Amino acid sequence: MLKITKRVEYALIAIRHLQENQDVLVSVSDISTAYGIPKEILAKTLQKLASSNIVKSYKGPTGGYKATKKIAKTTLNDFFEILEGPTAIMDCYFQDGCDHLNSCNIRTPINKINDSIRNLFNNLTLADISQ
Amino acid sequence: MLKITKRVEYALIAIRHLQENQDVLVSVSDISTAYGIPKEILAKTLQKLASSNIVKSYKGPTGGYKATKKIAKTTLNDFFEILEGPTAIMDCYFQDGCDHLNSCNIRTPINKINDSIRNLFNNLTLADISQ
DNA sequence: ATTATATACGATTATATTTGTCGTATATAG
DNA sequence: CTATATACGACAAATATAATCGTATATAAT
Ligand code: FES
Ligand code: FES
């Protein structure tokens, strides 16, 4: 439990690779072959990051991706939520209803744990974890 | 991603129920029917907690479980690890080898994120999240 | 002693989630 | 015009989680 997904893992790899190669445009294939990541998944992952301006995309031959200045300022929470949606250890944290309709006795603990995690991730940037 | 399991959820419910009924022995069936939790799963979950002395078990008819004083002092990290094993957002945090044999460029970030989470969970007790 | 009821524990099945693949459309450099 | 790149949705495979089943053991009550 409490695992990150491959998508997040691949996104981290890609971002770090782009940061280390800021002078050139890097294609999905480049990263895919360099790290042994399935091309299509990596493509879709980078598309999500591009739509949030974490990276910039360029179409056509000689096209590819570039790192943006926004990366360093992005919090872990934003990064995770762009890729995987709301950060929540249980769905009830964001949903209206509770999973134990009649007699839920864990709302408080669940919320406290979740608040702690979100607070942690909101105060850590991608720059922080790269050093 | 970053979800807790039902086992942990059930364990939290059970622990809080036991704490609110410290004067009596509570059986698995009692908790199971009160919160709509599958009996066998709850049973095995409580067995794990019992073997770590988080709760105390009593066999035979009129038997059941009781909360122990250890609960309040138990950290979230210990609680999670009793039920689900090592807290790690990626398996490579504890394993010897790395998932990207040749060219891993995310060891540092993965470790930093994981250290942060473990630090958070090591400094939060079950008592902290219950208030 | 016998019975009923509780915990203890391993093996198996069902379900849900995650991961990966496939097919098609669009943009653009050469 | 063509080759190569991103963009995007639908589907299939693989994996992890959740739940069930079967059996053993302890013990209170009769
Ligand atoms: S189960 Fe989340 S609030 Fe009740
Ligand atoms: S993938 Fe975890 S250290 Fe390389």
- CA A60 to CA A73: how far, in whole Å? 29
Using one digit for the tens of pLDDT, what is the confidence trace for A38-55? Answer: 999 999 999 999 999 999
The C1' atom of D13 and the CA atom of A15 lie apart, in whole Å, by 28
CA A23, B99, A72, A53 torsion-angle sign: positive
Q: Among B89, B92, B112, which is best to mutate for testing ligand 2, by the most ligand atoms less than 8 A from CB?
A: B92
Phi first, then psi, for residue B129 (nearest 5°) are -85, -5
Read off the amino acid at residue B57: S
Residue located nearest, by CA, to atom 4 of ligand 2 = B98
pTM given for the model: 0.95
Using one digit for the tens of pLDDT, what is the confidence trace for A56-65? Answer: 999 999 999 9
Q: Which residue of A has its CA nearest to B20?
A: A105
B98 lines ligand 2 (CB under 6 A): yes
Q: Does B35 touch chain A (CB under 8 A)?
A: yes
**Residue B39: its pLDDT value, please?**
97
Fold of the domain spanning A6-129: Arc Repressor Mutant, subunit A (1.10.10)
Cβ contact (<8 Å) for A3 and B34?
A: no
Alpha helices in chain A (DSSP H): 6-20, 28-35, 39-51, 70-73, 76-84, 107-122, 126-130
Q: Give long-range contacts, CB 8 A cutoff, 24+ apart: B95-101.
A: B99/A9, B100/A13, B100/A35, B100/A36
Tell me: pLDDT of A101 over 70: no
**Residue B103: its pLDDT value, please?**
81
| CA-based radius of gyration for chain A | 17
More confident residue, B83 or B99: B83
The C1' atom of C19 and the CA atom of A42 lie apart, in whole Å, by 12
Domain ranges for chain A: 6-129
Using one digit for the tens of pLDDT, what is the confidence trace for B34-93? Answer: 999 999 999 999 999 999 999 999 999 999 999 999 999 999 999 999 999 999 999 988
